Structure 1
């Protein structure tokens, strides 16, 4: 069907007439705020209205842009584009009044726009308040168009100059079509699209085999939309799988390769030495009844099954599973923080062959501070082989060189890339990101694989994407040395494709995956430009004689905000001179990389965060 284009706030209809001539196949509806009698009395407007009607366009008068659904039948509310050039309340209306106009316009627009439609808003230089403005006004003195649009679930997907000279016959007019024009030099056209919704996720239960028992556990709320995404499945075109597939193909040219296709348990029994208790997600599984006849018939008795649960019936007010006393498993379990935990079990298998490189892959889970490159969940791939101890150095060198070559082959995006190998002894722990620091607690790391790239605009310095070292093997590897290479596939994909924020890898917006079809690793182009950010502070007294758990503090922020907190900074620390009580003040910055996030939503999240910090960490809010 033909595209339907709606133009609002036309003064003399010169823009509508020019656009109609340029896109004759589309259906046009051109509107203005003034009445027909007033507009028709102006020669230029009357001439353009005739041009529009001659080409089959519909012209409407007295249309209020904040009440659009009142003018169109439900079947006609499917506009593929809506244009609103230089909106203004008129007279000497300030920025607040014009923000209110835009807010009502976007809300109204959402009711008449097609699902994949676009909203084009042209603003004078500096009005929008985005980094695209030259010069850029101070935020409080701008129309804050991206934040205003977010309130109606719109994101800014493109912004480009409004070239009035290129629009044949266009003549801008002032408020209420006054003949006095205004300067459009430096004006920008802002293109908005619909955002995917900010989901309120229902609690999820996972059923799985644990030893000889069938158990279930509640998935931590922050992983409900991540634990079962299938990015590494055979039919996936996600860049994370493409990175793994291409790296494995390169390694297979040098080593015999064997992929471990059996599912590794999501849960691992603890405690384990070297891993900090506060850095893993502890789980309390409970026994399930025997697998049902239907599950047995479908071969699902050993499968991992995920299901959402009724929030009211099975969970408390905080979304936590109601646990029945006397129905728990006494051992401690946690979500796997690394696949290296399974290396020893792998080497004890009867089918394990020295000299072969085995491939393990899957998502892993860790508590970590909030930052763009600290990933609480990511896909790890581990290459494991056992060789004669005399060959250890040469084997590691060949393995590292092959991985380095593979990473360079992945990199076809035209930006600079440098892959370096650093000795573990020379790589300061403070420089290790969360990935490598956790790896070093489980195994003996000899080298760190680091990448530098300018794909993100500024040269990303020394991001550790992998580790190489030795691990404990089973009885079968006695006299041999077990060598591993562990790589963070998510970080690799980010650096190769220029993805600045790890959260984008997990977006449900189809505009992300559409850029990587056909297993091509291209430079990513964001579909959400200049997302608004909101800053909130929280101050509290730390419980006496207790060590404040900052990782837990960050984890609560991640969960409550649904990963919209992008930064947490300690901005003040104070100790009372008499009571010795300690007070901390943190600054949280909320920003979504792929969805519309409104000021009100961020404020509501902050209120919930304050309650949860008080409840979970027993702090006293100030």
Structure 2
């Protein structure tokens, strides 16, 4: 298996991603997002890019996929096809690998019903939950899982943050996502006769997850507050302190206000 021979080249970045990170990309369509990262880094030796579709299916579905695949190979990317998010942690070429970033952009279960239909939402949730559960097993100690998707209704009903909690993950950030920040990336519908067409993303975000420590006394479903992070990820203590300072400021203002009221009442009683 190629890749991960990072050497001592100068770090290059694009948004949340670095040429020094070991990156796994899941559910790629025409591989334009992977190609975007490779161009930004000047290498793809640190990347593994995967698709659910076979190579032959990709050639039929996407007009530009072969150009992107050729570019990725030229940059040293490891490319795998027919990788299912529900079982990817057991894939023979992936099960021994650990990644700093695992990325799934615009996951989708296909078009069985309208997007607002309850059953369709459940199908989408099954895909995302399966991905998160498997990705959790493939992270380095301080690695992150990134899921990018629309945040408007009905996509907001997917409850992606809650799906992460169910499998032992904690969301550390919900970062706004803009297509223009990833030159060359063209999102694809991926299904049906219009599979090679892009779709309007509207308001969307990248949900960033980290692992809940397995030796933590906090159960995954209970990790809902900043105070819980102490037992979840020690390197996130900064976030707790930052938010605690804000809380202390609020409490201090309340105490001062109460003292002022007491003094005012005492003055009038005199």
Alignment partner of 1:188 out of 195, 200, 205: 205
Matched, 1:64 2:90: no
Matched, 1:104 2:116: no
Matched, 1:44 2:64: yes
Tell me: CA distance 1:115–1:47, structure 2 relative to 1, closer, same or farther (3 Å). same
Cα deviation per residue 1:299-319 (whole Å; 9 max; x = unaligned)? xxxxxxxxxxxxxxxxxxxxx
| Aligned-partner SS, 1:523 | helix
- Between the aligned partners of 1:181 and 1:63, the Cα distance in structure 2 is 22
- Between the aligned partners of 1:68 and 1:505, the Cα distance in structure 2 is 28
Residue ranges of structure 1 left out of the alignment (5+ in a row): 130-136, 202-500, 517-521, 527-622
Aligned to 2:29: 11
Tell me: CA distance 1:47–1:159, structure 2 relative to 1, closer, same or farther (3 Å). same
- Between the aligned partners of 1:191 and 1:515, the Cα distance in structure 2 is 14
Tell me: CA distance 1:503–1:190, structure 2 relative to 1, closer, same or farther (3 Å). closer
- Between the aligned partners of 2:24 and 2:39, the Cα distance in structure 1 is 15
Tell me: CA distance 1:184–1:502, structure 2 relative to 1, closer, same or farther (3 Å). closer
| Aligned-partner SS, 1:43 | coil
Tell me: CA distance 1:49–1:525, structure 2 relative to 1, closer, same or farther (3 Å). farther
| Aligned-partner SS, 1:524 | helix
Q: Which has the larger radius of gyration?
A: 1
Q: Does the aligned pair in 2 maintain the 1:128–1:144 contact within 8 Å? A: no
Cα deviation per residue 1:233-267 (whole Å; 9 max; x = unaligned)? xxxxxxxxxxxxxxxxxxxxxxxxxxxxxxxxxxx
- Between the aligned partners of 2:227 and 2:53, the Cα distance in structure 1 is 46
Question: Displacement of 1:99 after TM fit?
Answer: 0.9
Alignment partner of 1:167 out of 159, 182, 204: 182
Matched, 1:28 2:54: no
Aligned positions, number: 211
Q: Does the aligned pair in 2 maintain the 1:158–1:191 contact within 8 Å? A: yes
- Between the aligned partners of 2:206 and 2:153, the Cα distance in structure 1 is 11
Tell me: CA distance 1:515–1:89, structure 2 relative to 1, closer, same or farther (3 Å). closer
More helix by share: 2
Tell me: CA distance 1:40–1:113, structure 2 relative to 1, closer, same or farther (3 Å). same
- Between the aligned partners of 1:74 and 1:63, the Cα distance in structure 2 is 10
Alignment partner of 2:166 out of 129, 132, 151: 151
Tell me: CA distance 1:149–1:54, structure 2 relative to 1, closer, same or farther (3 Å). same
Q: Does the aligned pair in 2 maintain the 1:146–1:156 contact within 8 Å? A: yes
Q: Does the aligned pair in 2 maintain the 1:156–1:193 contact within 8 Å? A: yes
Q: Does the aligned pair in 2 maintain the 1:102–1:148 contact within 8 Å? A: yes
Q: How does 1:391-430 map to 2 (within 5 A)?
A: none
| CA root-mean-square deviation | 2.9
- Between the aligned partners of 2:165 and 2:55, the Cα distance in structure 1 is 34
- Between 1 and 2, higher relative CO (CA 8 Å, sep ≥ 6) is seen in 2
Tell me: CA distance 1:91–1:116, structure 2 relative to 1, closer, same or farther (3 Å). same
- Between the aligned partners of 1:509 and 1:11, the Cα distance in structure 2 is 33
Question: Displacement of 1:523 after TM fit?
Answer: 2.8
- Between the aligned partners of 2:187 and 2:203, the Cα distance in structure 1 is 14
Question: Displacement of 1:197 after TM fit?
Answer: 4.0
- Between the aligned partners of 1:78 and 1:505, the Cα distance in structure 2 is 23
More strand by share: 1
Q: How does 1:115-154 map to 2 (within 5 A)?
A: 115-126=141-152, 137=156, 142-154=157-169
Aligned to 1:82: 102
| Aligned-partner SS, 1:89 | coil
Tell me: CA distance 1:10–1:506, structure 2 relative to 1, closer, same or farther (3 Å). closer
